[in-house]
Amino acid sequence: MAIFTGAGVAIVTPFHEDGTVNYEKFAELVEFQIKNGTDAIIVCGTTGEASTLTHEEHLDVIKFCVEKVAGRIPVIAGTGSNCTETAIYLSKEAEKYGVDGILVVTPYYNKATQNGLYEHFKMIANSVKVPMILYNVPSRTGCNIAPATVVRLCKDVENIVGVKEASGNISQVAKLMSIADGSVDLYSGNDDQIVPILSLGGKGVISVLSNVAPQQTHDICAKFFEGDVEGSCKEQLRAIELCDALFCEVNPIPVKKALNIMGMEAGPMRRPLSEMEPENAAKLEKAMKNYGIL
């Protein structure tokens, strides 16, 4: 059984102006997500700025999230690293806190061969018992998991259950699902490709859009699974302008700006990320108004 189906939010990590984690606002964001239909929370991923959290902060945020969610929906922790031993450490600690699964990105900067990726992910998965989702985002990591490698991992390693596909390459995803033989739980990693991914057998999306439009993102998936493909597609297309605005600068700059515009006080980014350019902020605010969330 899949860890979750539907829309999982790749939740932001709110900060105070001094850069420390704002746990009060984080708790409010968790409640906002659950109240508005989100099917799972993915904590400490790219959108959560995990790359600029210390290990202690990273684990504290995961623990806090698990405690606040309190079993109401699944919590999946980002525990990836370009160092296999670090990823094992983070994964084992997250498991102790009671996460429902882990999301592990491909090694960035140092990259790896396909055999190296296989060994990396297998070692991490074997260090824990919770299910693991691979995260393929070559635009950020410079490293692509080939379809055959994804299938090999899902078939060979019991608790590797699927992949978050953010390559943007629909042809690659189609190839993956054509050889998966039911072994891969597929999640879209791109908000503008939810319906295409679902049409290829996807289980849902791990979403940036859900931070600001949780109910609507949930509905895209729910309508599709209910057989209302036309309604699902309509909701997907209605969201395209906002999706484009949320990625007109590197994630999570725009989505944090959007939350701040909504009065949800997500705070600043940590360096090297910087404030959104004024012309892009205006574009984002216009898209939010057109979408109906302002």
Residues serving a catalytic function are 135, 164
Distance CA 104, CA 90 (A): 10
Tokens, residue 165: 């596909």
Distance CA 162, CA 154 (A): 7
Please list, residue by residue across 53-76, b when 16 or more beta carbons sit within 10 angstroms of its beta carbon and e when fewer do. beeebbbbbbbbbbebbeeebbbb
CB-CB contact of 113 with 141 (8 Å):
no
Distance CA 208, CA 197 (A): 16
What sign results for the dihedral spanned by CA atoms 62, 68, 71, 73?
Answer: negative
Tokens, residue 5: 């189906």
CB-CB contact of 178 with 186 (8 Å):
no
In 16-83, at which residue ranges do the beta strands (DSSP E only) sit?
Answer: 40-43, 75-78
- Count of CB atoms situated within 10 Å of the CB of 229: 14
Distance CA 39, CA 194 (A): 15
Closest C-alpha to 76, from 108, 117, 39, 49: 39
Distance CA 246, CA 252 (A): 8
